[in-house]
Structure 1
Amino acid sequence: MVSGLINPNPIVYERKECRVRSVSSNTDEYAVEPIDQQEIFDHIRDIKDPEHPYSLEELKVITEDAIEVDDKRSYVRVTFTPTIEHCSMATVIGLCLRVKLMRSLPSRYKVDIRVAPGTHATEAAVNKQLNDKERVAAALENPNLVDMVDECLAQSYA
């Protein structure tokens, strides 16, 4: 048991298989499928938890079912569930999700990151921080926070 952690013994779940995105040949052009729930999940599944050596998928902080995508309207919503109600890293986790999707998706997408209703003591405040452009921009100007996000996003496992 590691001391100093709010949730020192999280439940760890099995990882799902990763889907291969299909690209079909159309004469000289390539037609790509619309972005869907599975693709968003594949982008964020390997984000490392800030406190544990596990992915957000392994901790069931994110699940495929908690992702909504409207490709025609260029809209994505990811709802995540912290492992405990008083998770001090909820905002960092949400910021990691936002940054990963900002780096992965075409810029036309509006991304909405939310804490699952009833799963965090300060749910409204966390949601407000994660979806306010100015607050996100300010957070990404903090070098220590950017280092933490980059560490969580590093592809440390296959």
Structure 2
Amino acid sequence: MSQMIMNNTLIDSIDVFDIIRSIKDPEFPNTLEELNVVNEDLITVDNSTENDYCTIKIYFTPTVPHCHLAPTIGLCIREKLNLLLPKKSKIEILIKPGTHQTEDTINKQVNDKERYIAAMENKEIKKLVLECIEETE
């Protein structure tokens, strides 16, 4: 999917999964789908919210319980969705409960708008995220 989903189209979990499935893992030469980090069953979309907002909740599973790049994976998911989804989307990205040692801390980091912006202002982090979300055909 290379173009933004239009504002007047309802988004579903399949659309969201199609956007994030091809993100490359920052550590392995595989996609998040291939590593079973993301799964369509762990994505919910609610189009019934007020003001035409779409609420998206994504759980992801780090490859190991102590994965030090879990925050980066969350940033990659958020950045790709921010680029391709309408601005009126509320996105919550969470680590699947019980799959990481510091899931609460990482969930706060990934879902804090100021922390996300600060992370993406770091040139090295931004470069890594952009490499991971780059579409290759």
User: Among 66, 71, 88, which residue is 1:86 paired with?
Assistant: 66
Which amino acid in structure 2 is aligned with residue 80 of structure 1?
Answer: F
Structure 1: where are the runs of 5+ without partners? 1-17, 19-31
Unpaired runs of at least 5, structure 2: 2-7
Residue number in structure 1 paired with 2:15? 39
| Alpha-carbon distance in structure 1 between the residues aligned to 2:55 and 2:43 | 11
| Pair 1:108-2:77 in alignment | no
The root-mean-square deviation of aligned C-alpha atoms, in Å, is 1.5
Offset, 1:33: 4.8
Match of 1:95 among 57, 75, 92: 75
2:28 aligned to which of 38, 52, 64: 52
Normalization by structure 2: what TM-score? Answer: 0.89
Between the two structures, name the one with larger relative contact order (CA 8 Å, sep ≥ 6). Answer: 2
Equivalent residues in 2 for 1:11-22, closer than 5 Å: none
1:61 to 37, 43, 53: 37
1:10-46 Cα distance to aligned partner (Å, 9 max, x none): xxxxxxxx9xxxxxxxxxxxxx751100000000000
1:136 to 112, 116, 119: 116
Cα distance in structure 2, aligned partners of 1:155 and 1:137:
22
Aligned length: 128
Give the TM-score, by structure 1 length.
0.78
Matched, 1:72 2:52: no
Larger radius of gyration: 1
* The structure with more helix, counted as a fraction of residues: 2
Superposed structure 1 runs of 4+ greater than 2 Å apart = none
Residue 72 (structure 1) shift: 2.5
Residues 33 and 134 (structure 1), Cα distance of their counterparts in 2 relative to 1, 3 Å cut: closer
